[in-house]
Each structure stands twice: as structure tokens, then as C-alpha cells.
Amino acid sequence: MKRIVSGIKPTGELTLGNYLGAMKRWAEMENENIESFYFIANLHAITVRQDPFQLRKRTFDIVAWLITCGVNPEKSLIFIQSMIPAHTEICWVLTNYVTIGELGKMTQFKDKVSKSSREGQVAGLFEYPVLMAGDVLLYDADEVPVGDDQMQHLELTRNIAARFNNLYGQTFKEPKGTVSKITARIMSLKNPESKMSKSETEDSYIALEDKPEDIIKKFKRAVTDSENQIRFDSESKPAISNLLNIYSAFSEKSIDEIVSDYKNEGYGKFKTDLGELVASKLDILQKRFKEIREDEEFLLKTIKRGNSGASEIADKKVSEVYEKIGLVYHRF
């Protein structure tokens, strides 16, 4: 059985991109003979200053949303990164098996730095690929589903693993990165060249908790391409192609079917229908979410189960690593 590990940062409202590209997909994968570990990446969230109340609230929101989207906590482990000390422990160790040069080459870091000054950045932003390497290596993951922006970090993870294995004997599995399918990549409603992201401006994404009227409004205002014809062409018509992808995902109709349904229609009608479709589907999910979110006992039980499953594996890995490098390890 293949093991995959993946995380979501509680940095903002969950979006349609998170739902279609990750959470919905994760629920489907439970039928594919895959062992899955999903964590709320709250240690990653703090590389950007967060409001403490919101950070804590969103951490629990995401647990509830995962279950709402169909992830079964009896099949997959759902856990909270900060509650498993092994993540921070392994991170510090691995920090000493990576060079400043290697981290400085990470394009995500370079992009951030080029926008403002290097000196003013928090060191966590520079180091977070090491935390990420630890997240994955702790669990001997076979695969990590990542966006192409994360591929370089995964390569670094493999390099760190290989380096450690070379020095101390086989310790870490070198994980493979799998880039999610093109159809699962949802783009921003304001700029179809960049992906929909919860840390961008509000009108560029649909939040899973948006009100129906806001969803409809946002789709109406979504940018479109120049000609007023609905067809799929992600090169020359990225905006409409993105909307077609979303339509298809929510209607379970193929893109061809939708294109033929709207053969004689303009963008206006298409966008209104899409907004209504998504609003009605999200309304169902929102009701389910509310019930789950309010059942505190169930949520805590879920987290406890996930945390204990994860820490059992992660603690073993940390103790093996400590042993190998000569650090004293003991859990009282």
C-alpha cells in the first residue's frame, strides 16, 4: 500500500481551489488502496504573521472541512502539526543537513525576497522547506501530491534524505512528488494565469464559506477572454477554460457537453448559471460543515485519533534519528 502525506495551511479561508484540487480528491483517493496522512500545517502558517484567534479557529475549521468533503477519519489520519512535537524536533536536526546555499536557491524564497528586502524577512521563510522535508520524511511517505511550485522543495527533501542515509545508513525513504492533474488546478478569477489562492484578494477566489449571493456576484465579475464564445482552450482562453473546469467539476458533466449546451449563449448566461450551480452545491456542503463544526466532542475525538496515529510513527522516526546521531532521546 502506498503512503501519501499532505498538508493544508490554516492561513485564510479555504477556497474552491483547495476543495477541487485537494480535499475532494483526497476523499476519492480513499478508495484507491492508499494510506493517507493529512495534517493542518499550522507551524507553516506562522511564517506570515497571523491573528492568534483566527489561526486557532481556522485550524479546527479545516479539520471539520476535511470531514465535510468526505475524508473519513477512520481511514485517513487527520492531525494537527503543532501537536506532534516530532515535526519541530526533526526540523532542527535536518536544518543541520542542508546548506544556506541550497536554501538560498529555492525560487519561492527568491520570489518573496525580490519583492521586498532580503534582510527584513523572517528566518522561518528561509527555513520552511526544511520543516516541509521533515513533515514528509517522518512518515516514510511514498508520494507527496504537490503543485509545481513545490517540486523544488520536494527535490531538496530527497537530497536531504539521501545525504542523511549516506552518512548514517538507510533512515529515510526518498519520496516522489506527484503534480496534481491539470484539471485539478483552479485558477484565480481575476488573473487566470495564477492559481486561485486563499492568501490573494477576496474577489479572486470563491471561499467554501461564501454566501450564495457573493458566489454568484464573484462569478459574474470574473474576468473573461476577449471573444464572446464559450470553448475550452487553456492557452488562448485561460479564463473561460478555468470556468469550464469548475462547471464540469460541480455538474459532473464533461467539458464537451457543457460547451455544446452553451453553443448559442454568451459569457453572461454561462457565468450566471455557473454561479448558481456552485452556490447551490456549496450550500449543501456548508450545512454539513456547520453540523460537524459544532460537534466539538466528535472533532476532538477525531484529532486525538489522528494525533496518536501520527505521533506513534513520527516519534519512532525521531528516536531512530537521535540514536544515529548521538542525541539522547527519551519520552517520559
- Report the amino acid identity of residue 218: K
Q: How far is CA 210 from the centre of its chain?
A: 19
Min dist. Cβ of residue 246 to ligand ATP (A): 10
Q: Is 198 in the site for ligand ATP (CB under 6 A)?
A: yes
Q: Is 11 in the site for ligand ATP (CB under 6 A)?
A: yes
- Report the amino acid identity of residue 95: T
Catalytic residue among 190, 198, 218, 317: 198
Task: Reply yes or no on whether 281 is catalytic.
Answer: no
Task: Reply yes or no on whether 112 is catalytic.
Answer: yes
179 phi, psi to nearest 5 deg: -80, 130
Min dist. Cβ of residue 223 to ligand ATP (A): 16
Catalytic residue among 9, 24, 190, 195: 195
Task: Reply yes or no on whether 253 is catalytic.
Answer: no
Min dist. Cβ of residue 195 to ligand ATP (A): 4
Residue number with the smallest Cβ distance to ligand ATP: 21
Site pattern 97..136 for ligand ATP (x: CB under 6 A): ----------------------------------------
User: Nearest CA to 143 among 25, 5, 8?
Assistant: 5
3-state secondary structure 108-123: HHHHHHHHCCCCCCCH
Q: Of these, 24, 185, 218, 293, which contacts ligand ATP (CB under 6 A)? A: 185
Nearer to ligand ATP, 201 or 308 (CB): 201
**Helical ranges in 169-295 per DSSP H:** 212-220, 238-251, 255-261, 267-294
- Applying CB under 6 A, the site for ligand ATP has a residue count of 18
Instruction: Produce one character per residue of 145-158: b if its CB has 16 or more CB atoms within 10 Å, e if not.
Output: bbbeebebbbebbb
Q: Is 21 in the site for ligand ATP (CB under 6 A)?
A: yes
Distance in angstroms (rounded) separating the CA atoms of residues 77 and 200 = 29
Distance in angstroms (rounded) separating the CA atoms of residues 230 and 267 = 7
Q: Which residues bind ligand ATP (CB under 6 A)?
A: 6, 8-9, 11, 15, 17-18, 21-22, 147, 184-186, 195-199
Hey, which residues are catalytic here?
A: 112, 195, 198
